[in-house]
Structures are given as structure tokens and as C-alpha cells.
Amino acid sequence: MPASDRSSILVTGGAGFIGSHTAYLLRERGYPVLVYDRLSNGACPAALVEPLVRADLTDTQALEAAMREHKVEAVIHFAASIEVGESVRAPLAYYQNNVAGSLALLAAMHRQGLDKLVFSSTAAVYGNAAFDPIPERAPFAPSSPYGHSKAAVEQILADHCATGGLNATALRYFNAAGAAPDWGLGERHQPETHLIPLVIQAALGQREQVSIYGSDYPTPDGTCVRDYIHVKDLAEAHILALEMLLDGGHRGYRAFNLGTGQGLSVRQIIEAVREESLRRGDRDFLVEEQARRQGDPARLVADASAARSALTWHPHFSDLQTIVGDAYRFFAELTP
């Protein structure tokens, strides 16, 4: 069936970083999209995500009315609180938003007869994994309330799918990065805690300096290694997972890692931003080595071979230059 003949795809959290890029790409592919977001962190201007229902997930009246009125056929569920550090300080809010919010969504879907869901999960479910690279079979050992809340939702999804009441795919992202300046979209967090935006803001003179959290890790240059994946590649993976559900190519529950399998250190990221900054004639910036940030594992790299084979997903934008170049352009040219 052509995508434009379908009923709507509901994107919860569709004004957030990954949600807004996925909603945009869905529309590009001809899917009718309805964004459901409470706009609590100002990630994306509302005008970019029309049509929008501005409400909380636990507002089941609004949620079910949206599902009925827009003939929703499937849901991509991003809406969640996502800051590891904040989750340690405010765990109840994290369980409320992430677990209670997801339960409310699942109950509403059940009442409305909807049985197709793509869930935004995270590598944080693995915690300090004993695997390198990390496959999906690595046990869950989250090290923060954020990670626990996402692991809890995955468990709920698996149990619910086992009853036959739902077909769901969870996508566990490693480090989401990059931007789509050509779509007018990028990463806006308040406050910003992520490495790439922070370094770019320093290069643009919006921050005094960059901090390296820990230079004594057992890694080649002593700084933490992560698997950075471009948000456009993440958006594509959600559409592939959705299409497999819509076409009946997948029933029950399953989960995929999304990453490149390539590890990059904090210093490599800083150097790539510095190069881009010098290329653009922006300023150089100070880098200060500080103590380790609590709870940061030395190395987190995905084994994403399952997503490549089962979803036929292949990252096209996740080389370091494209990630940094796109994020830089977004901050330099599109961020007020």
C-alpha cells in the first residue's frame, strides 16, 4: 500500500531531538504523521512539527481522542525524560514520565485496538557491560534511574507482546548525534550536557571552555570511547522498524542496537570540532582535563549486526566529519 493511503503514525515526543527528525523523514516518505508532545523542554519549535497535539501521555482522554480522530495505525514512542544525571537526582519524575507514561500509552493503544509500536530505548539499559562490542543479548545492568526506567519499559513491552496484544520493536541507541540543518532540525537541550553540542558552543564563543571528564581511562588516549550515530541514520532505522510492523513482517517483541560499531574518544571528538571550527574561521577554545564523571563506563560500542541484517539498516551519515559538520552548521546557522 502506498504510504500516503495509510492512516496516521502517532509520534510521541515528536518535538524532541530524535523524534522531530523521524517525524520529518516519515512525512518525506509520504506518511501522515501526528506529533504528540507536551513541549516541556523546548527542543523543537512547534511550527516545525504540525500537526501537533500538545498534551501529556498520562492524559488518556487527549491521547485516545488523537488516536481516534487521526485514525492512528501505529505508534513511534519517543516521549521520555533523558538526562542520566537528572534521573539520579529526581528518580520519581523519571519513573513517572518514562514508565507510567508508557503504561498509559500502552493502555490507550490497547483500548483503541492498536497493536504496532516502535519504542525508543537506549544503550543505557546495558550499564557497564562486560561485552565489547555490546550485542543485544548482553544482560541488562543499568547504572541510573534513567537506564532502569527504559529497561522496565522494555520488560513491560516483552510481557505485553507475549500475550499477543502487541507487536513491538525497541531500538537501543548508542550516542545519538549530528543534526539535519537542511531540514531545519537539530539538537536543543536545556541545559546542554552532551559532548558534541558543548564543544561546538565553545568553538562559537558561547562557552568559556570544554571539560574532558576523565583522562585516565584504559583507552588509547585515556578518554572515554563512545559509538556516535547520526540522527538521520536513527530516523531511518525507525522507519524500517515501523514498515516491518506495518507489513506484518514482524510479530511479537524484539530489540535492536543502533550504532556504527566504531568507537570514538572524547579527544577525537574535540579535535574534529576544532578542525571544523578552524576551517570556518571560528575561534579556538580551551580544553581542561577534569575528574571522571560519575557512572561513565570507559567504552561503549554497539554490535549492531542484527539491525543491519534483520532491518536492512545501514548508516550513511555517521562518519565523524558528517556528524560534526551537520551539528556545527545547525548551531552556527540555525540556533538563535
Enumerate the active-site residues: 146
Residues 204-233 that bind ligand UDP (CB under 6 A): 211-213, 224, 226
User: Between β-strands 299-300 and 228-230, what pairing exists: parallel, antiparallel or unpaired?
Assistant: unpaired
Query: Beta partners for 255?
Result: 170
Question: Shortest distance, CB of residue 274 to ligand UDP, whole angstroms?
Answer: 14
Nearer to ligand UDP, 101 or 259 (CB): 259
221: Cβ–Cβ under 8 A, 6 or more apart, which residues? 215, 265, 267, 268
**CB closest to ligand UDP, residue no:** 224
Interface residue with ligand UDP among 193, 219, 262, 335 (CB under 6 A) is 193
Question: Shortest distance, CB of residue 314 to ligand UDP, whole angstroms?
Answer: 23
Q: Is-contact 87 145, C-beta < 8 A?
A: yes
The answer to whether 7 contacts ligand UDP (rule: CB under 6 A) is no
Determine the longest span between alpha carbons in the chain, in angstroms. 59
Q: Is-contact 177 228, C-beta < 8 A?
A: yes
- Rounded Cα distance, 209 and 178, in Å: 21
Q: Is-contact 238 76, C-beta < 8 A?
A: yes
Question: Shortest distance, CB of residue 289 to ligand UDP, whole angstroms?
Answer: 9
Interface residue with ligand UDP among 109, 195, 235, 307 (CB under 6 A) is 195
What is the per-residue binding string for ligand UDP in 154-183, x denoting contact by CB under 6 A? Answer: ---------------------x--------
- Rounded Cα distance, 98 and 95, in Å: 5
Q: List interacting residues with ligand UDP (CB under 6 A).
A: 175, 193-195, 198, 211-213, 224, 226, 266, 293, 296
